Homo-oligomer: A and B are copies of this chain.
Amino acid sequence: MVKKPTPDSTRRSEKSRRAIYDAALTLVGEVGYPKTTIEGIAARAGVGKQTIYRWWSSKADVLLEAFLDLGEQAAEQAAGQGGEPGAEYAIPDTGDLAADLKYVLRATVDELLDPKFEAPSRALAAEGVVNEQLGREFVTKLLEPQLRLYVQRLRSAQEVGQVRPGIDPRIALELFVSPLAQRWLQRTAPISYEYTDTLVDYALHGLAPR
């Protein structure tokens, strides 16, 4: 086994890292993921290829970190502008579960339709489908943290009797989250506020007559 000399991260150039994130996200947006090349990212970032290969193992890896960084930046910005830090990532708890879920799903719809996020997140999702290692990172670092918020909200609803006690929240949340995700990813049908509202209604009250 050949040893990689383990680069010294204290010496790492912050400027280059930022430039690489920017270039990667921009290029994926402009020309699409498959036509985004490491050479292209390096050129656009004004960086040597080796600087990319030194710190990341693949194009997908660069993009994943760039995307995570994008999220952190957005979070910091939001946190800076007011409210408790991290608060905007919680699901509201007004006491009305249906309303709260509809609200947050509508926000998700907005985000999914935001062209700035679309290309990179599609690319990552696609890569994750086929590349197990990247897929697991994608899920643990991006997806699960989001889903945990739903678990919390559903548990809190269970406590006040708005959700039946036996229900497993981790499965329950999929009834409305997964359909939205799949419509977006696979373009089986357009997504809209009306659609997500309907999902919440169906999920809460069931398909069968009561």
Contact = CB atoms under 8 A, between A and B. Distances in A.
A21 to B, nearest CB: 20
A135 B210 CA distance: 38
A202 B175 CA distance: 8
Interface stretch (A46-54, A65-73, A185-193): A185-193
Copies of this chain held together in the complex:
4
Contacts of A34: 130-131
Interface string A101-132: 00000000000000000000011011111111
A1 interface: no
Contacts of A206: 202-208, 210
A38 B34 CA distance: 16
A128 B186 contact: yes
Contacts of A204: 206-208
A32 B132 CA distance: 11
B185 A179 contact: no
Contacts of A32: 130
A102 to B, nearest CB: 14
Given A33-B130, A143-B186, A209-B161, A199 B171 contact: yes
Interface residues of A, number: 55
Contacts of A126: 126-127, 129-130
A163 interface: yes
A179 B174 contact: yes
B130 A122 contact: yes
B198 A171 contact: yes
A143 B175 contact: no
Interface in A131-147: 131-132, 135-136, 138-139, 143-144, 147
Contact of A164 (B128, B130, B209): B209
Contact of A172 (B129, B147, B163, B202): B202
List the 8 shortest-distance A-B pairs measured between CB atoms, nearest first.
A206-B206, A174-B179, A126-B129, A178-B178, A178-B179, A126-B130, A178-B182, A205-B206
